[in-house]
Each structure stands twice: as structure tokens, then as C-alpha cells.
Amino acid sequence: MNRRRMLGILGASALAATGTAGRAGAAGRPAIRIGILQFGSVAWQIDVIRRHGLAEAEGVGIEPVILAANQATLVALQAGSVDVIVSDLLWVARQRATGADWSFHPYSTALGAVEVPAASPIRSLADLPGHRLGIAGTALDKSWLILRLLAQRQNGRDLDEVVEKSFGAPPLLAEQLAAGRLDALLTYWQFAARLEARGARRLLGMGEAVRALGIAEPVPLVGYVLSAAWAKEHAGSCAAFFRACRRAEEILLRSDEEWRTIAPLTGAANPVELERLRDAFRDGIPRGDETAMRVAAENLYDLLARIGGEALVGPSRTLPPGTFLDGIRA
């Protein structure tokens, strides 16, 4: 299915959800505006919520606002154009360290992976030095820093100094890998799933890397971001919103038929790719004790702060108090 067709389907879904939120407001139920990406996994979840009436069942409206890029979601949140987005724990922590009011509620523990061609002679992290490595994002991407930390611990070498690096957007890097202009690619979980469906071999998942660094509990590095003060003022609506999201996750966790329904929104090229995306999404649904997840996040933040320094975390070398949202009983 082509990109224009996917956009049309998603647009129709979003308009239907917005209409639902508008009627809910007219009926006296509050509506929460959430900024979403056109083809992001949050859009899949919102579609499940809409079709199953999960928000109405919880007494809240959800109004999706479709935005073009991650940076646009941050701008919309800070401008007050939306109430909630899904974004990065490190961004929230850095903002909070400088006096901002943003807080974080776990959405996913899914992390990316290092992918190589199926026939590649690269078999372990120790084989990467001297090779051409594509890295999705920037030099401060959390997965790149985790990979560097693990290589230093296991092999005593900083990959930043011993690989030929290419930073960029995941689709472009995937093309470079397929064309043989890269030997390996560190990319986000959705793109890793797509590559594996097309025959790539996973060299190392970043969740596995985090565990190898001594952090056993999955770390929710992506979450719902909202103002703590706003959440306190709208505690009932926020709790209802989180309950609806959790119910959607439960449906996506147990129902393969639901994945076939949302397949057009995922952009999956075939059933194998859809299965890979499904399994990766399911693996990332937070299931552990939130207190343990917070401790794991604090421990990983400490490691990342050491290697990323102020450029990554700003003035706080420890996870600032209030980074995780408190006081909302979902």
C-alpha cells in the first residue's frame, strides 16, 4: 500500500476520533488533545481507542492532532496547542532540570537494534570496529550512547573512535544498508522490525544491551509527556485517558485480528512485516512494577549522563525529581 493511501486512511481515522472528542465535550465530558505523528505507533493505539469506544467508556474525549515530526510535537506541547504528546524521557529530564514543569508517564520500553545483512561476517559487537556503521538520529541518540557504553565495558574500545559513522534518518540509512554502502545499522525499533522482515539479521537489540550493562528491568525511555500542574488540575481526565490507553494496549497485546485491522496504518508491506511490527510493539508494552522501572530509568540515566555529559542531560547528572508523573491513579 502506498504512502498516499496510508495517509488517507489515517486522516479519516483522526477526523473520526476528533468528532468523537467534540461530541464528548458537548455532552459534558472533557477532551484531551494529544499530538501524534502521521505514521507513528501512537496513531495505531488511538485508532483502537476510537473503534472500540474506550475513551467514551472512561468518560473522556480524546482529540488527536496530527503533526509532521517529533520536533513539531514538542513545539505544539510547549505552545499549548496539545495537552499530551509521546516523547523521550531524556528530553523531559533535561527540561525539568532547567525548571520546566513537564512530567513523564511510561508508554513503551521498546528500543532499537543493530542490524546487518543476513550474510554479513559481523557476528558480535567486537566485530564492528573498522566497519561502516549507520546510526539513526544524532551523536546524542540514546541507543548510540548505550552501544558505546557496552562496547567500552565488553571490549575496552569506544565505537565512536573505531567505526566509520554515518548519522541520518532511518529510511535513508536502510537504503544505504541494502545497497551495501553500510556494513551495519543501528536503528529504531520500527525500522529494525521492517529490516528483519526483509531478511536482515539482528546483531544486538538495545534492550539486550541495557541488560548487559547491569539493568535488568526494562526501561521506559518513551512516554506520555504533559504538564504536572495541568495533570493535577485535570487528574480525573488524565486517569481516564491512561486507562483508555492501557485498554487499547491490552487489545493489541492479545488480538492478532486487531493488527490485521490496523495494518494499513502501520505501513507494513506484507504479513511478515506486520508480524514483526506487532511483536516489537508488544514487547515494548510496559508490564513491570513502575517503581522498579523508575529505578531502572535512574540507573540508565546515570550511565548516559557519564558518557553524554551536559550536552545530553543539561545541568543535572541525576534524574530530576518529578520527571515521572505522580499523583494520578489510573
What's 177's domain CATH number?
3.40.190.10
Question: What is the number of structural domains in the chain?
Answer: 2
Give the number of C-alpha atoms closer than 13 A to the C-alpha of residue 72, restricted to the C-beta side.
10
- pLDDT score at 16: 36
Which carries the bigger pLDDT value, residue 307 or residue 11? 307
Q: Is residue 103 located within the same domain as residue 131?
A: no
Q: Is residue 40 located within the same domain as residue 176?
A: no
- pLDDT score at 26: 38
Q: Is residue 197 located within the same domain as residue 229?
A: no
Q: Is residue 182 located within the same domain as residue 242?
A: no
Mean pLDDT of the chain: 91
The reply to whether 99 falls in a domain is yes
Among 184, 212, 240, which residue terminates a domain? Answer: 212
The reply to whether 328 falls in a domain is no
The reply to whether 320 falls in a domain is no
Q: Is residue 92 located within the same domain as residue 11?
A: yes
Q: Is residue 127 located within the same domain as residue 202?
A: yes
Task: Decide if pLDDT at 254 tops 70.
Answer: yes
Q: Tell me the three cell numbers of residue 46.
A: 488511538
Q: Is residue 105 located within the same domain as residue 36?
A: yes
The reply to whether 229 falls in a domain is yes
- pLDDT score at 21: 35
The reply to whether 63 falls in a domain is yes
- pLDDT score at 329: 79
Q: Which domain holds residue 299?
A: 3-109+220-313
The reply to whether 162 falls in a domain is yes
pLDDT band at 63 (very low <50, low <70, confident <90, very high): very high
- Write the pLDDT tens digit of every residue in 169-190: 999 999 999 999 999 999 999 9
The reply to whether 65 falls in a domain is yes
- Placement of cell 536503528 in the chain: 187
Q: Is residue 278 located within the same domain as residue 291?
A: yes
- Write the pLDDT tens digit of every residue in 212-240: 999 999 999 999 999 999 999 999 999 99
Q: Is residue 9 located within the same domain as residue 105?
A: yes
Q: Is residue 123 located within the same domain as residue 102?
A: no
- Write the pLDDT tens digit of every residue in 269-317: 999 999 999 999 999 999 888 899 999 999 999 999 999 999 999 999 9
Q: Tell me the three cell numbers of residue 69.
A: 515530526
The reply to whether 321 falls in a domain is no
What is the Rg, in whole angstroms, of the alpha carbon atoms belonging to the chain? 20
- pLDDT score at 38: 82
Q: Is residue 101 located within the same domain as residue 238?
A: yes
Q: Is residue 102 located within the same domain as residue 10?
A: yes
